[in-house]
């Protein structure tokens, strides 16, 4: 395999340009506040705040069961406290590092003369730079970069890419150091997020496709590497069996494996649409409908299913094409296959790694088709520049939306009007903006969509009170005591406080006594 570090030092220029594009796309993201899951996972999380050595969680959050991820947030807190800029800076550095690894993987792959001959001898660095630049600035990645807590996705991707990169380096020159680096990266990734589960399989597929030529040859030549990668599954298994994520993942939530798999075909179709046309991006898809039968799948879902079978066949007929398909579906598999993630049926950050395969397929495929028409390649180069510019501008705009929670949740409600969680969070942001009347409307909307949404009910009572409608708030708390008996203690406290402020001391005393009897339900 040709070495990348040839005397032609200009080969690093495309990487530098790609990283500059990535920085330009996210340089306005640093002032975006903590939003949504950031609040519980970071701001209100006693497991990381002001204590670097205690990075565990006392309550379930995005960080639960993910020690390496938790450690990075603890380190950020130790360095910068709750100054949001340090968290954004770390996210961007991770994103740029992923882009650099992607460049290295693509460039070294295209310079592999044993597989490609001299087909990409001069164009490899520029093709790799174009793919890395488009991916770095693609608006679909904003959820994994600008939404702070979704560092979970980008950090796991960093380790995922590192495993493949170190495998390539080991294939170029067998070395214990590269093998150990790959195994360590895989172990750290397994302790970062469950999306690392397919890494050993993808590494073996890469070896079989581009290096060894067969599974037997790959395993024989790098048996110690694959044994080490397989051992890292024990880390992931220990985290799963600890039950840290049982509240949101598993088969005990009235969604079967088949229902979830069917639903994910429609979700993946939506992801593909956003990869090509990244408009109407949405922070939360909580209301995504479950496909309970095949009739609910729709044409787009069937197209994704056919694409899956196509890429399986292509793996033997056109190995490189089959590998790109395998990369797409296997990097999605931990979240988008058969294991239900009930709190997040769809999430844009899951396309962070799969998006690489789509961009690589389009760029390299188009370049190969234009191989005999040099003038067309110049046109293609101009198109790539235009795409990068458009995507950069759209990413900058999306980052601006993240800087105001009210704007991003208003947009979310517009995109998903049947999402009760979006209405609740819009109400929450309106409360923060001293607009309790507007917040009350959104909390009512959330309750109308999800009558058992206790957080919305509790917040509605407070919004009514803060907007001056204390009698209505008192009546609401009375209904809340009946509707949510498990949280009656808290409702009694709120109603008692209102009664006390209005001079009804007898009623307030009765409420506080009732709250004392229900003290186990108090927050």
Task: Over range 314-331, report the average pLDDT.
Answer: 94
pLDDT in tens, 247-300: 677 666 688 999 999 999 999 999 999 999 999 999 999 999 999 999 889 899
Chain-centroid distance, C-alpha 191: 16
Looking at residue 492, what is its pLDDT? 87
Task: Over range 115-137, report the average pLDDT.
Answer: 95
Specify which residues 210 forms β-bridges with: none
Q: From CA 313, how far away is CA 307, in angstroms rounded?
A: 10
Looking at residue 503, what is its pLDDT? 87
Task: Over range 411-415, report the average pLDDT.
Answer: 97
In angstroms, the Cα distances linking 303 to 277, 290, 362, 512 are: 18, 18, 18, 59
Contact residues for 263 (Cβ-Cβ < 8 A; gap 6+)? 288, 289, 290, 291, 345
Name the CATH superfamily for 417-521: Tetratricopeptide repeat domain (1.25.40.10)
Q: From CA 179, how far away is CA 167, in angstroms rounded?
A: 7
Which token pair is 469?
Answer: 């409608």
Q: From CA 29, how far away is CA 318, in angstroms rounded?
A: 41
Contact residues for 199 (Cβ-Cβ < 8 A; gap 6+)? 159, 160, 163, 186, 189, 190, 229, 232
Looking at residue 206, what is its pLDDT? 98
Contact 110, 116 (CB under 8 A): yes
Contact 11, 125 (CB under 8 A): yes
User: Of 367, 335, 308, 320, whose CA–CA distance to 134 is shortest?
Assistant: 367
The residues spanned by each domain of the chain are 13-402, 417-521
Label residue 467 exposed, middle or buried (CB < 10 Å: 0-12, 13-18, 19+).
middle
Q: From CA 109, how far away is CA 130, in angstroms rounded?
A: 15
Percent of the chain scoring above 90 in pLDDT? 70
Contact 327, 311 (CB under 8 A): no
Q: From CA 429, how far away is CA 439, in angstroms rounded?
A: 8
Per the document, the length of the chain is: 523
Task: Over range 491-495, report the average pLDDT.
Answer: 87
DSSP readout, 109-142? HHT-HHHHTTTTTTTHHHHHHHHHHHHHH-GGGH
Task: Over range 152-176, report the average pLDDT.
Answer: 96
Which token pair is 123?
Answer: 């164009």
User: Of 173, 135, 136, whose CA–CA distance to 5 is shortest?
Assistant: 173
pLDDT at 516 over 90: no
Q: From CA 345, how far away is CA 253, in angstroms rounded?
A: 12
Please, which pLDDT band fits residue 378 given cuts at 50, 70 and 90?
Answer: confident
Q: From CA 462, how far away is CA 444, in angstroms rounded?
A: 12
Tell which wins on pLDDT, 374 or 440.
Answer: 440
Please, which pLDDT band fits residue 497 given cuts at 50, 70 and 90?
Answer: confident
pLDDT at 53 over 70: no
Contact 427, 446 (CB under 8 A): yes
Looking at residue 489, what is its pLDDT? 85
Tell which wins on pLDDT, 463 or 487.
Answer: 463
pTM of the model: 0.92
Looking at residue 355, what is its pLDDT? 98
Looking at every residue in the chain, the average pLDDT score rounds to: 90
pLDDT at 363 over 90: yes
């Amino acid at each position: 395999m040709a070495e990348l570090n040839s005397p032609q030092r200009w080969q690093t220029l495309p990487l530098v340009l790609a990283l500059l594009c990535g920085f330009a796309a996210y340089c306005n993201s640093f002032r975006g506040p903590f939003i949504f899951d950031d609040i519980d996972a970071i701001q209100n999380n006693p497991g990381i705040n002001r204590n670097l050595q205690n990075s565990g969680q006392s309550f379930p959050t995005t960080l639960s069961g993910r020690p390496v991820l938790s450690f990075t947030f603890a380190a950020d807190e130790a360095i910068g406290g709750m100054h949001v800029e340090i968290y954004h800076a770390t996210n961007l550095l991770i994103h740029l590092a992923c882009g650099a690894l992607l460049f290295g993987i693509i460039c070294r792959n295209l310079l592999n003369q044993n597989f490609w001959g001299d087909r990409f001898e001069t164009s490899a660095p520029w093709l790799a730079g174009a793919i890395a630049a488009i991916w770095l600035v693609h608006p679909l990645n904003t959820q994994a970069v600008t939404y702070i807590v979704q560092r979970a996705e980008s950090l796991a991707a960093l380790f995922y890419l590192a495993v493949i990169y170190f495998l390539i380096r080991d294939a170029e020159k067998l070395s214990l150091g590269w093998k150990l680096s790959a195994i360590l990266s895989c172990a750290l990734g397994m302790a970062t997020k469950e999306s690392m589960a397919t890494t050993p399989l993808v590494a073996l597929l890469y070896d079989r496709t581009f290096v060894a030529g067969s599974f037997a040859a790959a395993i024989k030549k790098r048996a110690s590497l694959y044994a080490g990668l397989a051992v890292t599954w024990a880390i992931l298994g220990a985290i799963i069996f600890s039950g840290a994520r049982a509240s949101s993942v598993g088969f005990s939530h009235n969604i079967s494996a088949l229902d979830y798999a069917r639903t994910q075909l429609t979700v993946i179709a939506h992801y593909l649409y956003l990869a090509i046309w990244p408009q109407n991006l949405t922070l939360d898809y909580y209301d995504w409908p479950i496909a309970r039968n095949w009739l609910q799948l729709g044409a787009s879902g069937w197209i994704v299913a056919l694409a899956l079978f196509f890429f399986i066949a292509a793996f033997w007929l056109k190995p490189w094409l089959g590998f790109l398909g395998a990369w797409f579906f296997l990097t999605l598999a931990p979240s988008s296959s058969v294991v239900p993630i009930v709190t997040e049926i769809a999430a844009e950050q899951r396309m962070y790694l799969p998006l690489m395969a789509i961009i690589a397929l389009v760029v390299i495929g188009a370049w190969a088709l234009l191989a005999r028409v040099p003038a067309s390649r110049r046109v293609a180069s101009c198109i790539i520049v235009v795409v990068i510019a458009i995507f950069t501008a759209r990413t900058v705009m999306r980052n601006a939306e993240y800087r105001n929670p009210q704007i991003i949740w208003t947009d979310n409600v517009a995109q998903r009007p049947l999402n009760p969680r979006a209405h609740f969070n819009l109400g929450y942001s309106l409360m923060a903006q001293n607009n309790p009347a507007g917040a009350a409307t959104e909390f009512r909307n959330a309750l109308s969509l999800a009558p058992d949404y206790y957080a919305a009910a509790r917040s509605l009572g407070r919004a009514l009170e803060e907007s001056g409608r204390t009698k209505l708030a008192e009546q609401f708390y009375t209904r809340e005591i009946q509707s949510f008996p498990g949280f009656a203690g808290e409702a009694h406290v709120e109603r008692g406080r209102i009664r006390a402020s209005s001079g009804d001391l007898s009623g307030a005393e009765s409420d506080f006594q009732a709250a004392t009897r229900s003290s186990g339900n108090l927050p």
